[in-house]
Amino acid sequence: MLIPDPKDPELRRRRFRPIPVRMLVPNVITLLAICAGLTAIRLSIEGRMELAVAAIVFAAVLDGVDGRIARMIKGQSKFGAELDSLADFVNFGVAPGLMLYFWQLQELNNGGWIAAMVFAIAGGLRLARFNASIDDPNKPAFAANYFTGVPAPAGAILAMLPFYLAFLGVSKPPATLTAAYTLLIGFLMVSRLPVFSGKTVKMRVPPEMVLPVFVSVVFFVALLIGYPWHILSIGSVLYLLSLPWGWKSYRDHERNAAAALQPAATAEAAAPSSSAAPFSPAPGDSEEERPARLN
């Protein structure tokens, strides 16, 4: 076998071929999200929790943007997918767990650290399962509109609900209650609970609704900037209340799919019985007398 010469100019051109800018843009956004997550950890160590929570929310916004931009400009890559998973683990697993520990869970000593660590590990397991199930051929078509378990960004936003309430003036809950709530969100991330994703919802807007949509988006952003802790608290509670609805919707789709497949299965089961007679052996034939290729 011929070993290519590393000094071959043709080989060097292939190895160092230019990379389109459209392939770099989503990765730059993901790196900015990692910077936001790491900055949140530093801010929580310094006790500036409001800025730390804002950094995680900003990272969640970037996480929702980078994938859509990549698909829009056709900048998807395997490198970008792996980088996005690592960013999600840092931003929505490690950072929220450490923030909760520095804020209150450290009062429980080892128990608080275990709760923070379990939450971070749950985020990593959730992302690993998501990557492993992307190309699952046995997944039904309707399952594309559901996540398996609470996604990592939503889990991080939900886990910080005690922060939002504290910023609104609500007294701190007991550290044991915060630890139990942190473990609950971690369990929801690694559970098999179907969660509505909205990925397959059509994003086209009728022409007559363009201006109302613009006004609604601006109004929501203004509310989020003016009353961030109110909006995040209400959004977190509504998201938790919507989880049973997602489970029920998934079960309804499952029952409909099973009902649609039942007539086909019945027809397939009846087909061999009707066609078995012409190919059945004669009464006098024995198993040994039949040709070998039919045995």
For 21-76, the pLDDT digits (tens) are 777 888 899 999 999 999 999 999 999 999 999 999 999 999 888 888 888 887 77
3-state secondary structure of 148: strand
What are 106-117's pLDDT values in tens digits? 999 999 999 999
Please, which residues have CB within 8 angstroms of residue 195's CB and are 6 or more apart in sequence? 146, 147, 148, 149, 150, 151, 154, 243, 246
Res. 141: pLDDT tops 50? yes
| Residue 187 structure tokens | 């369990």
84 CB-near residues (< 8 Å, 6+ apart): 30, 63, 66, 67
Q: Most distant CA pair in the chain: distance in Å?
A: 92
Beta bridge partner(s), residue 148: 194
H-type helices in the chain, by residue range? 9-15, 21-45, 49-72, 78-89, 95-103, 110-132, 152-159, 161-167, 175-190, 210-226, 228-275
Is residue 233 left, alpha or beta, with left meaning phi > 0 and alpha meaning psi from -120 to 50? alpha
Left, alpha or beta for 8 (phi > 0: left; psi -120 to 50: alpha)?
Answer: beta
Cβ–Cβ < 8 Å for 41, 74: no
pLDDT in tens, 81-95: 888 889 999 999 999
